[in-house]
Structure 1
């Protein structure tokens, strides 16, 4: 009887752990969310540059896209 209970509880733990892992990994991290928002702004700048035929521009926001969400000092 104990081995059967152990099997059921092990399966339950595996299923719940898998669900938790899926729930945690499907959402973008703050870094990814900031990068996606930043890329949209850079593309907006590029579209404006293409419209005005000003191709030798330097996007101001490009370097900000590479910055991490949170800075920490260790």
Structure 2
């Protein structure tokens, strides 16, 4: 019985010390953040970050001589 208790104790300690699951969760969070950033940048609407950047570069284009792109 003592060997079984020691075996179970060692298995539980090894399971709690294992960090592979934490790494997988970290990679999933990073992948999710990248996906959200890509959706925000590649969305067809001119709102939020994309709209602000478009307005900024349109203003820069107007100041250098009307080189701002036209909307399709």
TM-score category by the smaller chain?
Answer: 0.3 to 0.5
Q: Provide the TM-score with structure 2 as the length reference.
A: 0.40
User: Comparing both structures, which one devotes a greater share of its residues to helix?
Assistant: 2
**Structure with more contact order per residue of length (Cα contacts < 8 Å, sep ≥ 6):** 1
Q: TM-score, normalised by structure 1?
A: 0.40
